[in-house]
Amino acid sequence: MSWLLATGTTTTAPSIREAQDDASQAAGWLEANWSTWLSAGLRILLIIVIAMVLRSVVRKAITKFITRMNRTAQAVDGTALGGLLVNAERRRQRSEAIGSVLRSVTSFVILGTAALTVLSILNINLAPLLASAGVAGVALGFGARNLVTDFLSGVFMILEDQYGVGDTIDAGVAAGEVIEVGLRVTKLRGDEGEIWYVRNGEVKRIGNKSQGWATAFVDVPVRYDEDLETARRTIQEAGDAMAKEEPWNERLWGPVEVLGLDAVTLESMVIRIAAKTMPGKALGVERELRWRVKQAFDTAGIRIVGGLPLEGAEAAADPTAGMAAPSALSNPSSPQSMSATPIAPPAGGGGTNLAK
């Protein structure tokens, strides 16, 4: 019994001392490092809080700026100033796309910077991580280069305002009216109502027919014997009257000009008219100009090509009216006349008998 007690005493005593040593070492280690941990934890917490607050403030500022842009566009839409600016839907989509890009870039920059700062506080070596991220970025760039190209092209198209909703454009691969502008795909509605989905990266050149101003050209054919000065004065009066009426006074950005004769033939003369118009309104202005010029010509008695003669005006005499139709008998030396004239037998009946 005493041997057991002695054995148990000798085996448990070192364990207690080791536990005490381990506890004292742990306490010392904690006492030596708790301040470092607390400092690092507070720094990490402060970085996260600052990053989230900064991200929220910047995103709200961007959203407020985009909302103000949309409100301004809606205020001028439908007014005289709105005719000089892009329509509200175009500005709304463009501003929303720009806001989405800015918010995404802001979140990526702020949160990425905060994450790298936290990792550096934790004494994590960032070199392998950055190298791996670079390799992954290169691989992703090669694998999704078309997607990246479409995205970057869409960003620059929107930022540079190359086109917008309501514009009529020729994108090379397709042409039509823009109904939606995205960062990757642009939707066009063709002349027959079809919808084209055009990837922004495939667009090499863009012809925008709705920016700046347009020109309306009208060719007026008149008879060759009409007075040009009277025709010019009549056309100018019709154009001036049109420029003073609604809604043409807003669609016409300049006076109607008579450029002069575009063509002269034996039967007609073509007078060309031009007018600077609001973008996308040239076709309507051309139709209205033709309508008014035709009415003005009818009032002034100016005849167009192919028109009926005026009342009381004598038609020009036809110099060939009294001439007979040409006949083959009128020229005896022709082969037709010789073959058509019968050969009479000689007098006295002494003709040659071909039967013999």
Helices (H), the chain: 2-76, 88-121, 126-143, 145-159, 228-243, 248-251, 282-300, 335-340
- pLDDT computed for residue 272 by the predictor: 92
- pLDDT computed for residue 85 by the predictor: 47
d(CA 128, CA 223): 86
d(CA 334, CA 96): 88
- pLDDT computed for residue 57 by the predictor: 92
d(CA 78, CA 7): 103
Which residue in this structure is represented by tokens 């309501």? Answer: 166
Mean pLDDT for 21-48 is: 73
Q: Which of 87, 1, 118, 103 is nearest to 54 (CA)?
A: 103
Could you read off the pLDDT of 242-255 as tens digits, one per residue? 988 888 888 888 88
Kind plus residue range of the DSSP H or E element containing 312: none
Q: For residue 141, is pLDDT > 60?
A: yes
Could you read off the pLDDT of 309-335 as tens digits, one per residue? 545 444 444 455 555 555 555 555 544
d(CA 209, CA 272): 22
Q: Report the chain's mean pLDDT, rounded to a whole number.
A: 75
Burial of 36 (0-12, 13-18, 19+ CB in 10 A): exposed
Mean pLDDT for 40-67 is: 88
Q: For residue 173, is pLDDT > 70?
A: yes
Q: What is the pTM of this model?
A: 0.48
Kind plus residue range of the DSSP H or E element containing 221: strand 214-223
Asked if 86 and 69 touch (Cβ cutoff 8 Å), the reply is no
Q: For residue 77, is pLDDT > 60?
A: no
CA count, 13 A, side-chain hemisphere, 321: 5
d(CA 99, CA 78): 25
Could you read off the pLDDT of 174-209 as tens digits, one per residue? 888 888 888 888 899 988 888 999 988 888 888 888
d(CA 224, CA 123): 94
